[in-house]
Structure formats: structure tokens, C-alpha cells
Amino acid sequence: MLETILAISGKPGLYRLVSRGNRSLIVETLDEAKKRMPAFSADKVISLADIAMYTENGEVPLRKVLNKVKEKENGQPAAFDYKKASREELAAYFEEVLPNFDRDRVYPTDIKKLLSWYNLLVKAGLTDFDEALAPTEGDNIADRKAQAE
């Protein structure tokens, strides 16, 4: 599922991949508006399946971190007010989710973005973070799945 959820640099929120155009991707916002728009090759587009969080022992895939937040929040949107939280409060909250996160490489803005994305996904009803797409001919999804394990 995370393979088709995209973050686009410079644009707020998350997007679902709808289709691939000739020179662009057609994406749809995850919010209630469900607006569709193109994402061009000049846009920095990244799949949530390709994102990881730094820990003292390496990296943890975002899907595992999202699952830990889901476990902490009992599948509900985060009750923690990350928008107004101080640097120390963010670190204390995130330490409960990922105890060995790298405090030098994971910034408060990263934690805020993670919680923002988590809330968007939960509100959109996308809470099965481990769900994988079935590979299709020409896709490299099977390769990504092997790398994630």
C-alpha cells in the first residue's frame, strides 16, 4: 500500500498514485477534496515505501515506524499535539515509538512530518502499512519487497 502513497517535495500532504501519464504521474490528494493533478519529472516525488528513519543501528523502514505509532495510538489519529510541541517533547514522544532513533539525524521537523503523515493515512482509512502490492510485469515492486525484508 505504501508503494502507491507519495510525498511530493514542496507540496503539503500525501498523494495516491492514480495513473502514469506520458511524461507525468497522475496523483490524487488523500484529504477529503480528492483533487487530481499531474506530478512531473521535475517534481521530487518519493514513495513512502522508500523512506526510512535513522536509528543508532541503521535504518528502520517507514512502514515499521508507522506500525509502532499505530500501536501506541491504538489505530487512532495521534492525540499528541505535535504542531505546538517543543523539541524535547517531540523527542520524548518519538522515543516511546522508536527508542533507539538517532537524535543527531532525526530532526524535530522529521517527527512532525511523520505524525502528520500518520494522521493523514489514518483519516483516509489506510492503516494496513504492511500490505504489499502484487508485482506486475515491468514493475520493480518485487525487488523493493525483497529489500524491505
Structural domains present in the chain: 51-123 (1.10.10.1650)
Query: 60, 59, 63: which is closest to 49 by C-alpha?
Result: 63
Mean pLDDT for the stretch of residues 34-59: 92
- The string of pLDDT tens digits covering residues 65-104 is 999 999 999 999 998 999 999 999 999 999 999 999 999 9
Whole-angstrom Cα distance, residue 52 to residue 62? Answer: 5
pLDDT exceeding 70 applies to what percent of the chain?
88
Name the phi and psi angles at 46, rounded to 5: -135, 140
Neighbours of 50 (CB within 10 A): 15
| 139 pLDDT higher than 70 | no
Q: How far is CA 29 from CA 17, 51, 60, 74, 132, in A?
A: 9, 19, 26, 25, 20
